[in-house]
Amino acid sequence: MLLSAVEASGKLDFGELELELWDSRYMLRGYKEESKWSGWCRPSCIPISIIFILIVLVVVLSLVDQNHLERVSRSKLLLEKEWEVCNQNCRISLVESIPEGLVFNSSVTHPSTYDAWVQLIDLAKEQIEIGSFYWNLDDTSADPNLTVKGTDIFKRLMEAGTRRKIGIKIAQNKPSAGFPNHDTAELHKAHAAEVRSLNFEKLMGAGVLHTKMWVVDRKHVYIGSANFDWKSLTQVKELGMIAINCTCLAKDLGKIFDVYWDLGQNDSKIPEEWPSALSTLYGKDNPMNISFNGIKYNSYLSSSPPPFCATGRTSDLDAIIDVIDKAQEFVHIAVMDYSPSLLYANPPKFWPDIDNHLRSAALDRGVNVRLLVALWDHTRNSTFKFLKSLQDLNDVYPNVTIEVKLFEVSSTPEQRLIPFARVNHNKYMVTEKSAYVGTSNWSGDYFTNTAGVGFVVTPKGNGSSSNNSSNKTDGGDRLEESNFRSDLAQIFERDWNSNYTIALDVMFARYNLADLQDLLGTSSNQEDEGGSSMEVAAEE
């Protein structure tokens, strides 16, 4: 009879002892565990498993990397394709509304807001999309001699929507008792336009749709400060831009309009993530490479508030800060309201986001900062103190220059009776590098819970404020000082040096704060009798 090794020797050798210990540890844990794990859990399978996992990771990562490369390639092709379209016939111009009776000793002139709007209506072949705050073009309660241009725009829209069968879509702020938007109600009733209203109290808890924009056939656009009000055409100083045959800009602005249109539906809510169809390729880190009037530019559109920004969209605040931070020589700003606070919060709250960057530009980089702010019956008392705080940094160190002037539109006794008129309503900024044209006043509310848009443009290769009328870059790109940026700089200089401005320090030397309140017809508690409602300033 054959004996086992153990029976023959009476003991285990070293190799058999190791095997016995292995069996004790791994094989004597119960039948169920044995059947569950014994099929793969061996020492020899550990390195095999590691190798297998590494192979899987390599394959997965290569696929992910390939998908990323494909996305980058598609984006590059789209950018090149859009550039070709925009490089052909794109034309852009600044447009202004100069209040009746306002005369400048300057040759700087631009097309009127009224003419720009007429051109957009006439160019329309299929559709007109409008983002708006409120409507008061056809004001039957006002003197018909004053409202002629507003009434004409209203009639042209009515005719376009009825006789010409142009599809008109209007996204507007929700009407209220104070601002019933009779114009859009009439357009809707006549089947001339589809109208949707955004309820910001419901969507954001506060705020308004403060945008003023046109998108025509996804080819032509207007962005600016002018509301859809007859006063914006003849009684308020406005500034905007019009772009003709700029498909890339128009399609991108159309995506912002689509956000408004979606949110104008009943029971609409802001989604956690916007559909990919509303995403954009263009922002401050990836601007459009396009050509206006034969000059090459980098450009993009910004939007506020942040929850309204789809993937890729630069927020309006980030756009403004980026333009300020990139300036090396000067930052010139023209706005109706400037306040480092949340004006319509109750009580108001400190909001230094823009203010800090202006102070940093002046102190850290020696950038010349100029602010041109509106002076009118509705200027807030806090405005003077905030502006003085900023200007007090002037000359605190060598080469620190911060200057503030107030712009007051002159008025006849009759013109002073027109409500919410005779004011510099501009909302723009220009540096030696870039131009920014927006729709928002510069206080925190307009960037946190209120909707607005901005247009940023930088002439390619234009890194200085040279006054040469024509230059060539090393790459042969045509550069001219007669471009969008320089045109905006000339408007600022015209206004800054006009007879309608008064330096802030001169104002304080001439009046104390109480005298200013009497002069403006305001009181110390006028600031925020309306609480958090922005409709107190609805025509601003």
**Number of neighbours of residue 38 by Cβ within 10 angstroms:** 12
Residue reference for tokens 């009181």:
523
CB hemisphere CA count around 81 (13 angstroms): 7
CA 173 – CA 210 distance, rounded (Å): 8
Listing DSSP states for 279-332 in one string gives --S-BTTB-EEEEETTEEEEEEEEEESGGGPPTTPEEHHHHHHHHHHH-SSEEE
User: How buried is 68 (Cβ within 10 angstroms: 0-12 exposed, 13-18 middle, 19+ buried)?
Assistant: exposed
With a CB cutoff of 8 Å and minimum separation 6, the contacts of 527 are 348, 380, 381, 382
Annotated catalytic residue: which of 110, 169, 174, 210?
210
Q: Is 68 part of the annotated catalytic residue set? A: no
CA 538 – CA 482 distance, rounded (Å): 36
Measured over the CA atoms of residue 265, residue 268, residue 270 and residue 275, the dihedral's sign is negative
Q: What angle do CA 246, 327, 98 make, to 5 degrees?
A: 55
Annotated catalytic residue: which of 149, 237, 296, 425?
425
Single-letter residue type at 237: K
Q: What DSSP character marks residue 534?
A: G
CA 355 – CA 274 distance, rounded (Å): 31
Annotated catalytic residue: which of 149, 212, 378, 427?
212
- The answer to whether the beta carbons of residues 217 and 126 sit under 8 Å apart is yes
Q: Is 217 part of the annotated catalytic residue set? A: yes
Collapsed DSSP state (helix, strand, coil) of residue 370: strand
CA 370 – CA 342 distance, rounded (Å): 22
Reduced 3-state DSSP string for 96-129: EECCCCCCCCCCCCCCEHHHHHHHHHHHCCCEEE
Q: Is 296 part of the annotated catalytic residue set? A: no
Element at 93 (helix H, strand E)? strand 91-97
Q: Is 210 part of the annotated catalytic residue set? A: yes
Q: What angle do CA 230, 236, 239 make, to 5 degrees?
A: 105
- The answer to whether the beta carbons of residues 324 and 357 sit under 8 Å apart is yes
Annotated catalytic residue: which of 138, 139, 217, 229?
217
Measured over the CA atoms of residue 465, residue 471, residue 473 and residue 477, the dihedral's sign is positive
Six-digit token string for 158: 């009515």
Reduced 3-state DSSP string for 167-224: EEEEEEECCCCCCCCHHHHHHHHCCCCEEEEECHHHHCCCCCECCCEEEECCCEEEEE
- Residue 318's nearest CA partner among 266, 390, 168, 309 is 309
User: How buried is 494 (Cβ within 10 angstroms: 0-12 exposed, 13-18 middle, 19+ buried)?
Assistant: middle
Residues that are catalytic? 210, 212, 217, 425
